[in-house]
């Protein structure tokens, strides 16, 4: 692009007001964050965690039909293979009924006097003070039990009995034999759910509610009275809420129910209604606002049969494949930081100071963890370096500064280990590792033909791993452009927020080596085979003149401008600024970057948004030319307008670093609180939910959900992953908690969280 074209482009930016220009023309002092009231104190909140329990290796024993918590906090379950009891704080389950009497069980209820009633295939049992007694006067099987201060009932396909003066008396009501649940109202009236509808039993008379004006459908499975006195009826199709003999509300997948198949309903101590379905549990507050718990992160199985609560408010959940406990603990964000940081140091830092995920030998079993390599170890350690830099900026902790230096030393080792003067590896592993991801391979002519047809830019790298000259390491080449972004972002934050002058000199020397090699190789990252890597291409020859690289033109042009500006600023060497200007004035890189927010839909990937967030602060902090600074300001404002959901905390906070303006603060704080402590990358498949719409947005290439899932039911986060993804997960890996620690310390530095 000629200088005249550049002038026209920059004049377009004049639409910004004079005040915006004053704000944008910040010098290289740290951004001044306005006191806009967007600051919160770190007050306690409820953090939920999940513990899974297996009832031995017997599949039938893990098919839980009913669950209850007795007065001593012991857990009781009725299963397809009998009744089991788990003592408080124990992990194992003991059978309660043995010998010939052992068999399918259906119901467990705790009476007000503390005794336990057990409904089984051969009758009703009472357990009290360590003694088990079979009740007389009932015809088995007993599948439903209802207890309250007004009375106790036992029901099954052969009748209904009521306990009166120590004896069980048959109740003569003409109802279907398909009894599924029963509850009593405050007056002692018995309500029974059946396959033919809802029955009210009173004074020997029955009243049936069956019509669709009375219930969503007549197939009733679950009953519970809400604090308001309304009766919640779980049916095929959802939940019918009834009041004063009228249907007042239908809760269906259209109103937040994850599945139309409802199996149980219960009330938590905090007066929230919990609805168990075959796609997890949906909790409804007094305003019917739903929150979902599903997947192995929260449940042993998504088909939920029964829910009970202990005196601490923890939920005990019977499923088709074992028992889950969802614990509730009060903690602050500072408490959560300590938990995550402890996990990070214990499991996710490997020699020589690489931050990465773990591999699990047994899916989901964190006791079997091992260190594992990743293509993007450099990028993710760059994020860790940024995190430690902000931790130092907030706390002035020497521990943070030492660890930041260790991370930086690893990133420099990625360069020196290659034996070149500027090319750096993706990652390294000890030379004696027997297993690595994406190992060396060969291509047959047929395979190569397929690859080239699929992607004409494909580079067939057969020797992906090479041994270092000292024999200590295997290093992985074919380094990508996102690795360069992660490195440069890490160096920027380290330089600005944690490095002393000796470390700054090291950063200058290291960045100089990388950028000098980049300039020598026409702005492409050239591997030791003499050709550029598959993705690390920034040359005008490809971006401007090769149509196969059109998809990368805007982002890669933007990236290269940031790299050159970083080198120019920290070194003061004129040649980098000159190259930066030539890219703008002769090669049109500013015009290329202007289309950053207007890519063709086929070229949009979520990864790009994060890469852009990595490098915006470099340009906005170091660019001193008012017109160019104004251009980048307009670009970042437009960029943030496309992210109103606030789903990417790194982008929210780097925008604040770059502009001094706080955005999406509520979303950022909500994520930090709601993110689970469990770092296993559980499979989460939103496609099985009936309450979401499957779409191709915001990324055309991917299957996504129309509404952003909350952090608690979102895939385990790395900020370059699409949070709208409909299906995610690999339970053989545990993600590193930098995804949380990094934005936490940024938010602390920016004054969003006040400790």
Q: What is the model's pLDDT at position 530? A: 97
Compute, in degrees rounded to 10, the torsion defined by CA atoms 750, 33, 594, 375: -10
Q: Burial level of 18, CB count in 10 A (0-12/13-18/19+)?
A: exposed
The answer to whether residue 33 scores a pLDDT higher than 60 is: no
Q: How far is the C-alpha of 436 from the C-alpha of 535, rounded, in Å?
A: 21
pLDDT tier at 445 (50, 70, 90 boundaries)?
A: very high
Q: What is the model's pLDDT at position 82? A: 98
pTM for the full predicted model = 0.94
Chain-centre distance for alpha carbon 645: 16
The answer to whether residue 45 scores a pLDDT higher than 50 is: yes
Strands of the sheet with 179-184, listed across from one edge: 179-184, 190-194, 197-202, 205-209
Residues 6+ apart with CB under 8 A from 524: 518, 532, 533, 536, 537, 538, 539, 542
Contact 464, 440 (CB under 8 A): yes
The answer to whether residue 689 scores a pLDDT higher than 60 is: yes
Contacts 24+ apart (CB under 8 A), 441-447: none
Compute, in degrees rounded to 10, the torsion defined by CA atoms 571, 573, 579, 580: 50
Q: Which of 734, 588, 722, 535 is nearest to 645 (CA)?
A: 722
What region does 271 belong to: left with phi over 0, alpha with psi -120 to 50, or beta? Answer: left
Written as one string, the DSSP assignment of 30-41 is PPPPP--S--EE
The answer to whether residue 7 scores a pLDDT higher than 80 is: no
Q: Which of 32, 25, 22 is nearest to 657 (CA)?
A: 32
Q: How far is the C-alpha of 691 from the C-alpha of 482, rounded, in Å?
A: 35
The answer to whether residue 341 scores a pLDDT higher than 80 is: yes
In the DSSP assignment, the letter for residue 462 is: S
Chain-centre distance for alpha carbon 701: 21
Q: What percent of the chain has pLDDT over 70?
A: 95
Q: How far is the C-alpha of 749 from the C-alpha of 491, rounded, in Å?
A: 18
Q: How far is the C-alpha of 744 from the C-alpha of 746, rounded, in Å?
A: 5
Q: Which of 476, 356, 485 is nearest to 424 (CA)?
A: 476
**Cβ atoms < 10 Å from Cβ of 508:** 17
Q: Burial level of 710, CB count in 10 A (0-12/13-18/19+)?
A: middle
Tokens found for residue 446: 């047929």
pLDDT tier at 37 (50, 70, 90 boundaries)?
A: low
Give the mean model confidence (pLDDT) for residues 58-85. 98
Q: Where are the domains positioned within the chain?
A: 46-331
Q: How far is the C-alpha of 487 from the C-alpha of 40, rounded, in Å?
A: 32
Q: Mean pLDDT in the chain?
A: 94
46-331: in CATH 2.130.10.10: yes
pLDDT tier at 38 (50, 70, 90 boundaries)?
A: confident
**Cβ atoms < 10 Å from Cβ of 452:** 12
Contact 557, 593 (CB under 8 A): yes
Block residue for tokens 């739903």: 290
Tens digits of residue pLDDT in 351-407:
999 999 999 999 999 999 999 999 999 999 999 999 999 999 999 999 999 999 999
Q: What is the model's pLDDT at position 501? A: 98
Contact 270, 257 (CB under 8 A): no
**Computed from CA positions of residues 353, 402, 612, 586, in that sequence, does the dihedral angle turn out positive or negative?**
negative
Give the mean model confidence (pLDDT) for residues 477-494. 98
Give the mean model confidence (pLDDT) for residues 65-85. 98
Q: Which of 118, 87, 115, 86 is nearest to 103 (CA)?
A: 118
Q: What is the model's pLDDT at position 717? A: 85
Block residue for tokens 């919990």: 274
Block residue for tokens 């700054």: 504
pLDDT tier at 1 (50, 70, 90 boundaries)?
A: very low
Tens digits of residue pLDDT in 77-90:
999 999 999 999 99
Q: Which of 7-16, 64-73, 290-299 has the lowest mean pLDDT?
A: 7-16
Tens digits of residue pLDDT in 209-240:
999 999 999 999 999 999 999 999 999 999 99
711: which strand partners? Answer: none
Q: What percent of the chain has pLDDT over 90?
A: 94
Q: How far is the C-alpha of 612 from the C-alpha of 653, rounded, in Å?
A: 13
Contact 571, 508 (CB under 8 A): yes
Give the mean model confidence (pLDDT) for residues 541-547. 98
Q: What is the model's pLDDT at position 716? A: 86
Tens digits of residue pLDDT in 241-300:
999 999 999 999 999 999 999 999 999 999 999 999 999 999 999 999 999 999 999 999
């Amino acid at each position: 692009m000629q200088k005249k074209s550049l002038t026209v482009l920059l004049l377009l930016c004049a639409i910004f007001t004079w005040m915006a220009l004053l704000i944008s023309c910040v010098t290289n002092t740290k951004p001044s964050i306005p006191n806009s009231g967007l600051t919160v104190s770190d007050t306690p909140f409820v953090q939920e965690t999940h513990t899974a329990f297996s009832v031995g290796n017997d599949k039938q024993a893990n098919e839980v039909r009913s669950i209850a918590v007795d007065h001593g906090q012991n857990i009781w379950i009725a299963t397809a293979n009998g009744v089991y009891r788990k003592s408080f704080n124990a992990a194992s389950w003991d059978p309660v009924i043995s010998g010939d009497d052992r068999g399918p069980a259906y119901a467990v209820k705790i009476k007000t006097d503390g005794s336990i009633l057990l409904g089984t295939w051969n009758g009703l049992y009472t357990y009290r003070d360590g003694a088990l007694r079979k009740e007389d006067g009932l015809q088995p099987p007993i599948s439903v039990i209802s207890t309250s201060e007004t009375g106790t009932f036992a029901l099954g396909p052969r009748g209904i009995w009521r306990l009166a003066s120590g004896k069980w008396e048959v109740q003569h009501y003409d109802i279907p034999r398909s009894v599924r649940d029963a509850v009593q109202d405050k007056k002692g009236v018995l309500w029974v759910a059946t396959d033919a509808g809802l029955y009210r039993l009173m004074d020997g008379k029955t009243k049936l509610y069956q019509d669709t004006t009375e219930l969503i459908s007549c197939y009733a499975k679950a009953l519970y009275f809400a604090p308001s006195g309304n009766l919640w009826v779980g049916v095929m199709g959802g939940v019918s809420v009834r009041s004063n003999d009228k249907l007042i509300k239908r809760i269906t997948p259209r109103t937040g129910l994850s599945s139309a198949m409802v199996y149980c309903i219960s009330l938590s101590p905090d007066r929230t209604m919990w609805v168990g379905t075959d796609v997890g549990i949906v909790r409804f507050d007094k305003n019917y606002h739903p929150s979902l718990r599903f997947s192995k992160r929260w449940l042993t199985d998504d088909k939920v049969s029964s829910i009970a609560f202990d005196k601490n408010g923890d939920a005990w959940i019977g499923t088709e494949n074992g028992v889950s406990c969802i614990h509730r603990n009060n903690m602050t964000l500072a408490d959560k930081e300590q938990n995550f940081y402890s996990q990070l140091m214990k499991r996710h830092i490997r020699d020589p100071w690489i931050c990465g995920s773990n591999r699990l030998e047994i899916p989901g079993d964190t006791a079997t963890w091992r260190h594992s390599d990743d293509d993007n170890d450099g990028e993710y350690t760059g994020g860790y370096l940024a995190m430690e830099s902000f931790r130092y900026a907030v706390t002035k902790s020497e521990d943070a500064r030492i660890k930041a230096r260790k991370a930086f030393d690893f990133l420099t080792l990625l360069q020196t280990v290659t034996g070149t003067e500027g090319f750096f590896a993706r990652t390294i592993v000890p030379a004696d590792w027997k297993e690595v991801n994406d190992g060396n391979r060969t291509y047959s002519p047929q395979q190569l033909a397929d690859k080239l047809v699929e992607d004409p830019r494909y580079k067939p790298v057969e020797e992906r791993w090479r041994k270092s000259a000292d024999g200590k390491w295997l290093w992985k080449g074919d380094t990508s452009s996102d690795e360069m972004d992660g490195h440069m972002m890490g160096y920027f934050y380290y330089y600005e927020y944690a490095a002393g002058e000796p470390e700054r000199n090291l950063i200058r020397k290291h960045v100089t080596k990388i950028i000098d090699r980049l300039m020598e190789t026409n702005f492409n990252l050239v591997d030791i085979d003499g050709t550029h890597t598959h993705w690390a291409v920034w040359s005008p020859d490809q971006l401007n003149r090769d149509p196969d690289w059109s998809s990368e033109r805007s982002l890669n042009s933007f990236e290269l401008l940031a790299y050159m500006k970083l080198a120019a600023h920290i070194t003061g060497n004129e040649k980098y600024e000159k190259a930066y200007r030539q890219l703008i004035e002769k090669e049109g890189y500013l015009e290329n970057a202007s289309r950053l927010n207007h890519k063709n839909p086929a070229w949009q990937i979520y990864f790009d948004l994060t890469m852009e967030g990595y490098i915006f602060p470099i340009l906005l902090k170091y660019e001193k030319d008012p017109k160019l600074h104004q251009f980048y300001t307009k670009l970042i404002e437009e960029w943030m307008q496309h992210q109103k959901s606030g789903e990417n905390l790194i982008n929210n906070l780097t925008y604040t670093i770059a502009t001094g303006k706080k955005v999406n603060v509520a979303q950022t704080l909500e994520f930090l609180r709601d993110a689970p402590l469990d770092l296993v990358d559980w499979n989460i498949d939103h496609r099985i939910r009936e309450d979401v719409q499957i779409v191709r947005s915001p990324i055309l290439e991917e299957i996504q959900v129309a509404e952003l899932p909350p952090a608690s039911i979102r895939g385990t986060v790395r900020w370059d992953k699409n949070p709208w993804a409909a299906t995610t997960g690999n339970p053989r890996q545990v993600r590193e908690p930098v995804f949380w620690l990094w934005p936490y310390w940024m938010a602390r530095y920016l004054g969003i969280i006040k400790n």
